[in-house]
Amino acid sequence: MTYSIADAEQELKVKHDALNLRWYPRYHLAARAGWINDPNGLVWFDGWYHAFYQHHPYSTQWGPMHWGHARSQDLVHWEHLPVAIAPEGPEDKDGCFSGSAVVDGDTLALIYTGHKFHGDADNEENLYQVQCLATSRDGIHFERQGIVVDTPPGVHHFRDPKVWREGESWYMIVGARAGETGQVRLYRSADLRQWQEEGVLDEAEAGMGFMWECPDFFTLGDKRVLMFSPQGMAAHGFKNRNLFQSGYLLGDWQPGQQFVRAGEFIELDHGHDFYAPQSFLTPDGRRIVIGWLDMWESPLPEQQDGWAGMLSLPRELSLSADNRVEMRPAKEVESLRQGWYPWPVSTLNNQQIGVAENAEAMEVVLNWKGAESTAEQYGLSLGDGLRIYVDAQMQRLVLERHYPQHGLCGTRSVPLTLDHDLHLRVFIDSSSVELFVNDGEACLSSRIYPDAGQRDLRLFAWSGSASLSDGGAWQLE
């Protein structure tokens, strides 16, 4: 089958009108219809934030990738634009895979992976992934420039370029698989078209994955952050519970030198659904990241409704005093706030209390007094399917979802210090929850699928009491 932007647009117009919107996000970015996964090409250009994303317009299943496109002036209200690139050429005939965007003078440049098979697609020896360029003056219509980096000899998995400017040069990192070892390869260019190989920036040691997808490389504080999504890390205790992870390595690097790690791989988000995050800089210099709010091989019940997948809220990154990457909602998210509803609850004693009905677009704020709380479990529930609670015996904060009708049950959690106060911001949308802990200390993001009538919010405390210094909710636009 041959693909074109015009055909994709026609397909989306037809499919969008037929969507079932019961779980479609009210304030997150999702495709007009069809499939969406990795965010791509996050950039500020000519007065707009641009978000591209991996997109299959023709079905709710992963398929030959296109680049969907939306823009915003505030990171929360998005305008859908025409599909930016489709697999139209010999260099990307089987898919336009993930990549990034940079501003080069008055031009917006997309650098993406062309995915193609030379022969039988069932034989991985026939797979070739190359890095391609497309450019635009208006930020909407793109002119394909073809291959700029070919597949290295002996490598088949070679994708997801991230490009940035440093000094007089452009730099590009690309995720790769060398045998059973994930790695990130480095390239340098003066013009985005002719690239010189600079070697391997970093690669996996035993247990760190067979493929490093969606790499990103940036500065926070006085450290370099290598952010990536490794495939093939085994779960261990409470760590790495998802099929694939997203996280980072801290270190030091200067152009022409080796990347020197300072510490171990740390997961960015501890929920069920967060993958392929990409970062960019705002005009005022903040480092913002957006991820795919889903997980490979996890059920996506919305596929029956004509769409699949969504992107996370924009999150600002910072480096803590003890050199950990902290993640909190970008300040622009507060512009969604409408009415504030305080909850007149200060103490719960072996009970549950209803606090809101039909929670669908809401930011919940809770401040628990840990030192005064003795309950074995205390927290917040949404209908019968979602609980966010402190488990005092495990000394962990737990996000539990229970949707057996969709095959989605289980918990994710982070450690807690029980005698400290606990500050939570909980963003609830039609089919997602994003939980931010202690102003950047941790984050847990998961997809949820409440049935009609299962959106009532309750506070609870079991086997003891729990105290709140403050609690309530913002209704979101």
Q: Residues with catalytic annotation?
A: 38
Measured CA to CA, the distance from residue 282 to residue 262 in angstroms comes to 27
Pairing of strands 408-415, 347-356: unpaired
Contact status, residue 49 vs residue 340, Cβ threshold 8 Å: no
Long-range contacts of 47-55 (CB under 8 A, 24+ apart): 47/73, 48/72, 48/73, 48/139, 49/73, 49/74, 49/75, 50/101, 50/108, 50/139, 51/78, 51/290, 51/311, 52/84, 52/101, 52/110, 53/29, 53/311, 54/97, 54/98, 55/31, 55/83
Residue type, 434: E
Measured CA to CA, the distance from residue 464 to residue 261 in angstroms comes to 45
Max Cα distance, the chain (Å): 67
φ, ψ for residue 173 (rounded to 5)?
-110, 150
Burial class (CB in 10 A: 0-12, 13-18, 19+), 22: middle
Tell me how long the chain is: 477
Residue type, 297: E
